[in-house]
Amino acid sequence: MLYEKYRDEIDAILARYPSKRSALLPVLYIAQDAYGRLDDASIREVAEILDLPYTDVFEVVGFYTLFYNEDVGKFVLDVCDDVPCCFCGAEELVADLEQRLKVKAGYTTDDKMFTLRRVKCIAACDQAPVLQANLEFHYKVTPDKVPALLEDLRRKVESGAQISISGRFAEH
Amino acid sequence: MPDEVTLTIDGQSVTVPKGTVVVEAARKIENLIPVFCYHPKMAPVGMCRMCLVKVGTPKVDRGTGKVELDTDGKPVIQMMPRLQTACTTPVSEGMVVVTKDAEVEHAQKGVLEALLTSHPLDCPVCDKGGECPLQNLTMGWGPGQSRFDYSDKVHFQKPIPLGDLIYLDRERCILCARCVRFQDEIAGDPVLGFDNRGRSWMIISKSDPAFDSKFSGNTTDICPVGALTSADFRFKARVWELQPVPTVCNHCPVGCNMTFDMRANEIMRVMPRENDAVNEIWICDRGRFAHHFVASPERLTTPLVRKNGKLQEASWEEALDLVARQLDGIRESAGGKAVGGLAGPSLANEDLFAFQRFFRETLGSPNIDCRPGTALDLPLDDFGAEYGLTSGTDLMQLGKGTVVLVFGADPEEEAPVHLLRIRNIAKRGGTLITINGRATKLDRFAEHTLHYRYGAETEVLAAMLKPLYDAVPPEGKRAALRGFGDLRGVLANASAERAVANAGVDGPTLEKINQALASATNLVIFYGQEALRAGTSVTAGLANILTLARKAGAPNSGLVALVPGANARGALDMGVRPDRGPGYSALKQPGMAAHEMFDAARQGRMKALYIAGLDPVQADPTLAEALKKVDLVVVQELFLTATAQLADVVFPVLSVAEREGTFTNAERRVQRFRQARRPVAPQRPDWQILQSLARQLSAEAVIAASANVSDKSRRQARRAEEQARKRTDWSYASPAEILMDIAASVPLYKHISYASLESALGVWGRKPNEAYYFDGTSYENTGGLGKQVPAGAENGGTLSLQPFNVRTFSQPAERPWKLIATPFLYDDSTLLNGSALLNNRKARPVAALNPADADSLGLKDGDVISIASGRGELRLSVQRTRLAPQGVVLVPLHVQGVPLVTVVEAGVTAVAIRRAEG
Amino acid sequence: MPKTQLQEHIVLRNREIANIADIAVYTQHGGYETARKALTTMSAQAIVDEVKKSGLRGRGGAGFPTGVKWGFVPREIFPKYLIVNADESEPGTFNNHEIIDHNPHQLIEGIIISAFAIGANTAYIYIRGEFAYGARLLEQKIAEARAKGFVGKNVFESGFDIEIYVHRGAGAYICGEETALLESLEGKIGQPRLKPPFPAVAGLYAKPTVVNNVETLTNVPRIIEKGADWYRTFGTERSPGTKAVSISGHVKNPGNYEIPLGITMREFIYDWAGGMRDPNVPLKFIIPGGASSSWLTPEHLDTPLTWDDMAAAGTMLGSGAVVVLDESVSVVKAALRVDEFFKHESCGKCAPCREGTHFLVKVWERIDEGHGRPDDIELLSDVGRQMLGKCFCPLGDSAVSAVNSAVKFFRDEIAAQIK
Ligand SMILES: Cc1cc2nc3c(=O)[nH]c(=O)nc-3n(C[C@H](O)[C@H](O)[C@H](O)COP(=O)(O)O)c2cc1C
Ligand code: SF4
Ligand code: FES
């Protein structure tokens, strides 16, 4: 089904490489968006599209942090807590989000809207504290800005806008 | 020597071939550098970092390009700033290696400590205990104690089944990736991998079924810890209690060297025995796990004699006496020709030789065969001996310059370990060509692959023969090839274009294949059951390719026929066939082939049938009717098979584990197996039963001599009788004596004796049987490497081209499909009795159809179809698979519930397919 | 002579020219003319020679001379590949991020010229998965360039074909290591390969491959346009040119600055980045070249920012990422965070890194939580010794930098925390 639905996009990806296997990461991103996560069935489907042994594809999904083989919310909120962010407000931001979303980092809110994660450096250290929402950057997210940000994201979901947990349509 | 390099390791000088890595160089001088991820059979990866050593090289002056010398005139050695992994560092001239000093030890301790931080240390309950590289290396190189006292060792659910056969204990895994690399690099089944990363990295298998590989058991051997264990051996014994006994696998024509690891007279496990010329250090899962027939409670234990219509237990004396008397009577009344004998390809050479002697000498019957006598019987293969691999050919040594052609064979199913070995030749630079009617796993490793239309095999062969034929120079050479002229006409119209049109093969690929054949230094041709079934022109065509490529009898070349059965080649060599005697000797008068014997039986012309190690009735239940018309049916068997159930007398025999003997493998290597187990019941080896009977019966020659009294003087007559008696004497005390007799009477086996099979040279460039504990389990070979018998073509006489014809297969319009009988490793053969672990892997009774064909017939998976040929009809449920070529229905051989014999015809069977109603 | 500004930017030209990401703006300012000139009037060898002469050193961390690396590529094996390393994941580093988002055409032009120089007809930009926007933007920018005939077949009618594709990673720092990157680009897990063979000989799909950092390649158009001699007017003899350096942490004006190589750390922090965030809280230490680098303390402030001077000071210029931390920072916490990073990113392939990073984190953690043991400092150092130089790739070594730096400069503080 995935191939039928995204034939043009997948074919375009395949055309870039002399080896089908190279298309694995991009095709997994498509599958992840299409199915909301990479469960076993979708991983096997991708393997079949690319003629790869199942195990090889599971291996790749397991290795990279941007492939989610567990349930995630509509938005994955990644807060950088690395040096230097952790000394520039990241801890406060995580604490604030945990309190507001009523989940610990690493978990998904009950309404399946947000998954909160601590992540390592995302190359925006001068803008700390910083987070990515579905891989879109939000800079200088001091706790006072959090309510508006969350509201914004919720509204986006309600408005039916295109949501990509893989960041395929990321704007900034 | 330019190809050798001399270096110094811990002050000791050693010379090794260029390209050798430091670990191997050190090993040569018994300096054992500890390793975990390194394995001599696989490409080095340098992951575990256990083998770190100090390495220095002579300092070269930049200006002059010369080695700088110190005041003593010795080269100045420049040590590398970091320790190097000895497993990945190739040696170089003048290199200096330090494997033992404080810095190296510190690093080694560090690595071991690191590995042990996440290891559960549950050695007392670990199956690897006692042969565990981690234990051993910790003893030798580990830190005295761990500074890591956290209780957060990695914990996982304990044992996770990876499929039916292998259990994974993730906690024990040290992530050396040997198993994953084995599956990728050697087995070619990339079914193992890793999930996550970092400290959460862990082995997974997501194939369907999990760990879907016929070689999975090997990973338990090379695993340097107890992370992978076999479902068969788990918790069965401590390894130090085991007594390994050398044996040879009795399941397929590869003849892998193995051991039965015994405890208290029971086989606890089967392990590979190192023999680079046969199986390196690998065995397939059938060889490893299908040993349970030996200890099966279903085994026959005493002779059975039919009384009042029922088989009842009897003493050996009674049963032997009965058979001897009856055979004597039949011989008297109807002549020896009224007796037929079938002896299967799993019997030892010694049994088979005795069998044909018993028939030809004692009974005076020419009617013997090694086939069951069903419509599925394969033609008897002579070419595999006449043009067999020349003696001394070691597939392990072949690579660049060698062309391997695999025709009409699926080695993965027919001879699994050959798949690994063929693939390795390709890896070493050889050219692998696969030509088949359907896709096989070996195609993945082939440089050139052709898929022909079934029935058009000879079209392809003609197109391959043509250029070779034309290239034979006229001067003298042509005359030296008997049959050269006969081929001219046959090949007159042959061309690549014709093959493309008639066989549907790819023209450019065919062209490349022909080029490869023409320029091969060595040529090895494998053919299997599909080639054999396609008719003798196919195998003759392959033999002719070898001959025309001038590789017949040439070193490192020859044909390998994958005839099913561990000793199929032995059966043919021993002359268990109606048309030739031992060593393919000509016979004055040929006897009946198996199927002719059953025909004769049906017509009441066959008075007795003697069947050893074959189960014709299981293969074709209609043969039961024929058997019922035979006065005396004698069966020698392990089990009460369908055939045995119909016998008048059944003799229980010893299995391969309980006796001595030899098998001859497809490469015509004669190999010896030993007695591992004391018999638990009064069964006897096949040969002994025959000897007992022979002793009770006078030989036919003796009778003849004594019958001629009238013509000659009494004295003359007595002398003749005396001589005949001596000549036909049976006094074998052991199979070794039979082998001596074989060596004396079968020229090919001239140099074969039990002693000659015992030599165990070192392999992997190391000393014989060095049990380096870090290779994984020990693969010690104390049983010998066996010995190859020469091919007929090695005699140097005039070479003959074999009669070859191009056959075009035309199909009646009402039967537009082709039925192909496909062999599977896991079928329902007797030798899989009792090995329940393999049940889930067995071939299923289904008809495989290409999805496109299934669609055209409107068939879903599981729909039942009727497959009708000119002979009969068969019903099976459908399995849609891309492995089936279009227009073809694949039906498994030797699978219960698949009465293939009712439909198959010679060559390709044309069938009609329709949905079965109801 | 403290400089507060560079007269002319080489890579961060977006700082001078508004909207240079716009192809019209870029071409107005001479964009793609250098590529045209290079492809139509220069030989590949001449370009390699010019880059060699410029002394341009790789900006990805190791500082290997770019022209020399290009010279390793065997001419006669085809195809060849150019890989742009846009995986920028070293903690503290964000200069590639700015180039990609704000000066993409100069990068693309650099790719075209460099691909031509090494004879590659295909270039892949391997961009870290988190730069989702950057990846999209680059695809758009490549499309713009293609529309103008700068990318694709027979570009500039030079007879040279160049395809540029963007390949998004998916979250793994190790994929910045060039061989792990190639594995990842081949659709596998990103674990480093055994070397040799080096990528220049057998890289992507076992073909000759050059891997260069984004910033490295962004330098190329200007070097070819204005010549190696001009380029050498910036920087020092052995570290010529400018470098986009990211500065973050407790400074007044964190961000990217394109500096001429050779200014001192003091100048950079105080004159360029505005000094400490809170002048009352003094500087405690600097992580000067990304999390992998060994730390510096105020006594090193006069170290010039060049490859050699940084090495002499026991650290490295690395990816050009200066993290400045003031006295409010706990050394143990900082070291813990750094090693948590490496533990998180350890690929798992080799034992000392996989287990060692975990070990280090565990010990830092217990010290941080007040359960340190008297021998812990020795323990950390010894485990560090067992890792340093013994891992499969440099990642494992990197985890030891924090240990050694913390112990070297702040032993007392750690010891105090243990008691
Ligand atoms: C663990 C590790 C991570 C690395 N990450 C990056 C990276 O994110 N970006 C980069 O350009 N180089 C990175 N490198 C360096 C690359 O391996 C390689 O040297 C570089 O891309 C070469 O480009 P250059 O010569 O232009 O510097 C990393 C190296 C290591 C060992
Ligand atoms: S040092 Fe070893 S485990 Fe760590 S990232 Fe490199 S290869 Fe992987
Ligand atoms: S690194 Fe050499 S044996 Fe593992």
**Minimum-distance ligand 2 atom for the alpha carbon of C192:** 7
Kindly report, residue by residue over B404-442, the tens digit of the pLDDT: 999 999 999 999 999 999 999 999 999 999 999 999 999
How confident is the model at residue B762, as a pLDDT?
46
Kindly report, residue by residue over B685-742, the tens digit of the pLDDT: 999 999 999 999 988 878 877 776 666 677 888 888 888 888 889 999 999 999 999 9
User: In this structure, are B828 and B859 located in the same domain?
Assistant: yes
Q: Does any ligand 3 atom lie closer than 6 A to the CB of residue B85?
A: yes
Kindly report, residue by residue over B795-839, the tens digit of the pLDDT: 877 889 999 999 888 899 999 999 999 999 999 998 998 999 999
Chain B partners (3+ C-beta pairs within 8 A):
A, C
Q: Does any ligand 1 atom lie closer than 6 A to the CB of residue C212?
A: yes
For B202, name the nearest residue in chain C, comparing CA atoms only: C348
How would you classify the pairing of strands B909-915 and C81-86? unpaired
- In this prediction, residues B571-596 reach a mean pLDDT of 96
Q: Where are the domains of chain A?
A: 2-63, 75-159
User: In this structure, are B693 and B839 located in the same domain?
Assistant: no
The alpha carbon of B121 and the centre of ligand 2 are apart by a number of angstroms equal to: 24
Which CATH number is C242-326's, of 3.10.20.600, 3.60.20.30, 1.10.4080.10, 3.30.365.10? 3.10.20.600
Q: Which residues contact C45 (CB under 8 A, 6 or more apart)?
A: none
Q: In DSSP terms, which residues pair with C123 in a beta bridge?
A: C82, C164
Give B685→chain C minimum CA distance, Å: 53
Give which of A21, A55, A70 to mutate to test B binding, by max B Cβ within 10 Å. A55
Give A61→chain B minimum CA distance, Å: 8
Q: Does any ligand 3 atom lie closer than 6 A to the CB of residue B36?
A: yes
Which residue shows structure tokens 């058997």? B627
- Give the number of whichever ligand sits closest to the CA of residue C353: 2
Span A75-159: which CATH code? Answer: 3.40.30.10
> Which of B698, B721, B752 finishes a domain?
B698
**pLDDT surpasses 50 at B764:** no
Cα–Cα distance, B552 to B520 (Å, whole number) = 13
Q: Where are the domains of chain C?
A: 23-231, 242-326, 331-418
Question: What is the interface pTM, i.e. ipTM, of the complex?
Answer: 0.95
How confident is the model at residue B917, as a pLDDT?
77
User: In this structure, are B322 and B337 located in the same domain?
Assistant: yes
- In this prediction, residues B552-570 reach a mean pLDDT of 97
Q: Whose CA is nearest to atom 29 of ligand 1?
A: C177
CATH 3.40.50.11540 is right for the domain spanning C23-231: yes
The alpha carbon of C100 and the centre of ligand 1 are apart by a number of angstroms equal to: 16
For B678, other C-beta atoms within 10 Å of its C-beta total 9
**For residue A4, what is the DSSP state?**
H
- SS3 annotation, B120-147: CCCHHHCCCCCCCHHHHHHHHHCCCCCC
Kindly report, residue by residue over B601-630, the tens digit of the pLDDT: 999 999 999 999 999 999 999 999 999 999
How confident is the model at residue C1, as a pLDDT?
39
Q: Enumerate long-range contacts of C186-189, CB under 8 Å, 24 or more apart.
A: C186/A19, C186/A21, C186/A22, C187/A19, C187/A21, C187/A22, C187/A23, C187/A24, C187/A25, C187/A50, C187/A52, C187/A60, C188/A21, C188/A56, C188/A59, C188/A60, C189/A59, C189/A60, C189/A62, C189/A63, C189/A64, C189/B194, C189/B197, C189/C347
User: In this structure, are B404 and B490 located in the same domain?
Assistant: yes
How confident is the model at residue B2, as a pLDDT?
66
Q: Does any ligand 1 atom lie closer than 6 A to the CB of residue C213?
A: yes
Task: Judge whether B846 lies within some domain.
Answer: yes
User: In this structure, are B434 and B459 located in the same domain?
Assistant: yes
B145 inside 8 A of chain C by CB:
no
Cα–Cα distance, B264 to B236 (Å, whole number) = 12
Interface contact C359-B114, CB threshold 8 A: yes
Least confident of B154-168, B183-197, B901-915, C63-77: B154-168
The mean pLDDT value of chain B amounts to 93
Task: State the residue range of the domain holding B482.
Answer: 383-561
The alpha carbon of C56 and the centre of ligand 1 are apart by a number of angstroms equal to: 15
Q: Does any ligand 2 atom lie closer than 6 A to the CB of residue C347?
A: yes
Kindly report, residue by residue over B291-338, the tens digit of the pLDDT: 999 999 999 999 999 999 999 999 999 999 999 999 999 999 999 999
Q: Does any ligand 3 atom lie closer than 6 A to the CB of residue B385?
A: no
User: In this structure, are B398 and B537 located in the same domain?
Assistant: yes
User: In this structure, are B315 and B419 located in the same domain?
Assistant: no
For C167, name the nearest residue in chain A, comparing CA atoms only: A26
The alpha carbon of C200 and the centre of ligand 1 are apart by a number of angstroms equal to: 14
User: In this structure, are B618 and B637 located in the same domain?
Assistant: yes
B204 inside 8 A of chain A by CB:
yes
User: In this structure, are B335 and B387 located in the same domain?
Assistant: no
Q: φ and ψ at A137, to 5 degrees?
A: -75, 140
Closest by alpha carbon to A121, among B726, B419, C385, C292?
Answer: C292
Structure confidence at residue B918 as a pLDDT band (50, 70, 90): low
Interface contact C184-A25, CB threshold 8 A: yes
Span C331-418: which CATH code? Answer: 1.20.1440.230
How confident is the model at residue B767, as a pLDDT?
55
User: In this structure, are B322 and B351 located in the same domain?
Assistant: yes
Out of C194, C351, C362, whose CB is closest to B49? C351
How confident is the model at residue B118, as a pLDDT?
85
CA B282 to chain centre: 11
CATH of the domain at B573: 3.40.50.740
Kindly report, residue by residue over B52-96, the tens digit of the pLDDT: 999 999 999 988 889 999 999 999 999 999 999 999 999 999 999
How confident is the model at residue C2, as a pLDDT?
44
The alpha carbon of A108 and the centre of ligand 3 are apart by a number of angstroms equal to: 41
Distance between start and end Cα atoms, chain B:
78
Structure confidence at residue B668 as a pLDDT band (50, 70, 90): very high
Structure confidence at residue B282 as a pLDDT band (50, 70, 90): very high
User: In this structure, are B510 and B396 located in the same domain?
Assistant: yes
Please tell me the total count of domains within chain B: 4
pTM, 2 dp: 0.96
For C207, name the nearest residue in chain A, comparing CA atoms only: A18
Helix (H, G, I), strand (E, B) or coil at A39: coil
**pLDDT surpasses 50 at B105:** yes
CA C416 to chain centre: 36
Task: Judge whether B228 lies within some domain.
Answer: no
For A63, name the nearest residue in chain B, comparing CA atoms only: B196
Percentage of residues in chain B with pLDDT exceeding 70? Answer: 97
**pLDDT surpasses 60 at B648:** yes
Task: Judge whether B153 lies within some domain.
Answer: no
For C29, other C-beta atoms within 10 Å of its C-beta total 14
Q: Does any ligand 3 atom lie closer than 6 A to the CB of residue B87?
A: yes
In this prediction, the residues of chain C whose per-residue pLDDT falls under 70 are 1-5
User: In this structure, are B537 and B419 located in the same domain?
Assistant: yes
Closest by alpha carbon to C302, among C338, C276, C266, C250?
Answer: C266
Kindly report, residue by residue over B244-257, the tens digit of the pLDDT: 999 999 999 999 99
